[in-house]
């Protein structure tokens, strides 16, 4: 007997530009609908017929309507907005990654931009001022990455990929993780340790890349005391989650130049709707030593092409009765 075609609801705005490619990769006969993700009523009208929901969130109300669901698939790593307790029993929840290459590009380019003073030079030359020691002996000589020690707070797939980029420029690296499981010799690091060694990392690093996940244990992991241990020329590159670095301490540390500069891609406040809203209660935008980006370090077309391929492949496995990949939970 031929299995009934799957019905798939895609409620993720990031996949819309890839709609044709996404649908072409699905098993023949799959029925797909694309409700506007921000239109709650449209999503809720579609999910009662869905076997698969591709979305970054699934509320208890949505889950209660989706009685046929067999798979909820996010187009990213985070599944914290999926209400697992409300899903039909047996529903699998899967995620996908592929943002590490884009984040590594961001981390390396941001570190170079800030360490070399390119933002300052850019602003100066727009005023016809040549801020370079070749033209003004008062301008500082800047250091290349080959002279830098890169400290990684967190060394999962993001930290490890960032390290490959920094290492290509001849930098040295050190890392701390919660469990201290990193094999420093195998990774080409000078040393690795646990969070207990965070102070030593901050003391010796020229660039600190924060990619640790946000948990109750990591909230405020880097606060005023930790920032005070960093070199006054050090650059902080934050691509983890905002609260891992204390908001008040970070603003103060940058405003007083306790640390040299920061590239901030993750924040403390996000828009509740639309695309406007202050990222913090502090005016980081008034500081001249900050690169601010809207949580975009991992967002490239290539990231979502690869994510779409993962999702459609998993839908194919579901249709064929095969085990799925990247399953992070199953509703009980």
Q: Sheet containing 290-292: which strands, arranged edge to edge?
A: 191-194, 172-177, 149-153, 207-210, 235-238, 261-264, 290-292
pLDDT at res. 4: 85
Same domain, 261 and 198: yes
Same domain, 146 and 265: yes
Please write the tens of the pLDDT for every residue from 321-332. 999 999 999 999
Confidence of residue 64 (pLDDT cuts 50, 70, 90): very high
Please write the tens of the pLDDT for every residue from 177-192. 999 999 999 999 999 9
Residue 15 within a domain: yes
pLDDT at res. 273: 84
Confidence of residue 320 (pLDDT cuts 50, 70, 90): very high
Same domain, 39 and 167: no
pLDDT at res. 209: 98
Confidence of residue 262 (pLDDT cuts 50, 70, 90): very high
Angle between helices 100-115 and 157-168 (to 10 degrees): 50
pLDDT at res. 274: 87
Question: With 80 as the cut, is the pLDDT of residue 3 above it?
Answer: no
For the chain, how many structural domains are there in total? Answer: 2
Same domain, 125 and 264: yes
- Per-residue tokens: 181: 């499981």
pLDDT at res. 303: 97
Same domain, 246 and 202: yes
Residue 1 within a domain: no
Question: With 70 as the cut, is the pLDDT of residue 48 above it?
Answer: yes
Instruction: State the Cα–Cα distance between residues 245 and 189, nearest whole angstrom.
Output: 24
Same domain, 246 and 121: yes
Judge if pTM exceeds 0.85. Answer: yes
Answer whether 161's CB lies under 8 Å from 103's CB: yes
Same domain, 47 and 151: no
Picking from 2-11, 18-27, 85-94, 279-288, which range would have the lowest pLDDT averaged per residue? Answer: 2-11
Same domain, 225 and 318: no
Same domain, 12 and 154: no
Residue 171 within a domain: yes
Please write the tens of the pLDDT for every residue from 202-260. 999 999 999 999 999 999 999 999 999 999 999 999 999 999 999 999 999 999 999 99
pLDDT at res. 149: 98
- Per-residue tokens: 35: 């409700």
pLDDT at res. 307: 98
Give me the residue label for tokens 């799957």.
6
pLDDT at res. 1: 40
**Residue 114: domain span:** 100-292
Neighbours of 113 (CB within 10 A): 16
- Outline where 116-261 has alpha helix (H): 118-125, 157-168, 184-187, 198-204, 224-229, 247-255
Angle between helices 100-115 and 301-320 (to 10 degrees): 160
Same domain, 74 and 139: no
Tell me the CATH number at 325.
3.40.50.720
Confidence of residue 41 (pLDDT cuts 50, 70, 90): very high
Same domain, 307 and 249: no
Q: Once rounded to an integer, what is the mean pLDDT over residues 109-125?
A: 97
Same domain, 89 and 181: no
Supply angle C-alpha 228, 232, 237, rounded to 5: 85
């Amino acid at each position: 007997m031929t299995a009934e075609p799957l019905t798939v609801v895609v409620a993720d705005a990031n996949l819309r530009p890839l709609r044709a490619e996404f649908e072409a990769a699905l098993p023949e006969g799959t029925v797909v609908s694309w409700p506007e993700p921000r239109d709650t009523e449209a999503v809720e009208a579609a999910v009662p017929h869905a076997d698969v929901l591709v979305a970054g969130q699934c509320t208890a109300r949505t889950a209660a309507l989706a009685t046929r669901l067999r798979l909820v698939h996010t187009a990213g790593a985070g599944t914290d907005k999926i209400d697992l307790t409300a899903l039909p029993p047996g529903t699998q929840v899967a995620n996908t990654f592929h943002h590490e290459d884009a984040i590594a590009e961001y981390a390396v380019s941001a570190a170079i931009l800030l360490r070399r003073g390119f933002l300052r030079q850019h602003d100066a030359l727009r005023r016809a001022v040549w801020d370079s020691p070749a033209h003004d002996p008062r301008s500082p000589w800047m250091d290349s990455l080959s002279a830098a020690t890169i400290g990684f707070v967190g060394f999962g797939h993001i930290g490890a990929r960032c390290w490959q980029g920094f290492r290509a420029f001849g930098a040295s690296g050190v890392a701390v993780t919660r469990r201290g499981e990193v094999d420093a010799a195998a990774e080409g690091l000078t040393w690795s340790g646990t969070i207990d060694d965070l102070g030593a990392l901050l003391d010796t690093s020229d660039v600190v890349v924060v990619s640790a996940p946000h948990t109750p244990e990591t909230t405020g992991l880097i606060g005023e005391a930790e920032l005070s241990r960093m070199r006054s020329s050090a650059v902080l590159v934050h691509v983890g989650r905002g609260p891992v670095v204390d908001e008040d301490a970070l603003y103060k540390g940058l405003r007083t130049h306790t640390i040299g500069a920061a590239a901030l891609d993750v924040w403390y406040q996000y828009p509740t709707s639309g695309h406007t809203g202050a990222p913090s209660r502090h005016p980081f935008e008034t500081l001249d030593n900050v690169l601010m980006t809207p949580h975009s370090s991992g967002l490239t077309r290539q990231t979502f092409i690869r994510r779409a391929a993962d999702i459609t492949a998993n839908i194919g496995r579901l249709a064929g009765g095969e085990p799925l990949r990247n399953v992070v939970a199953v509703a009980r």
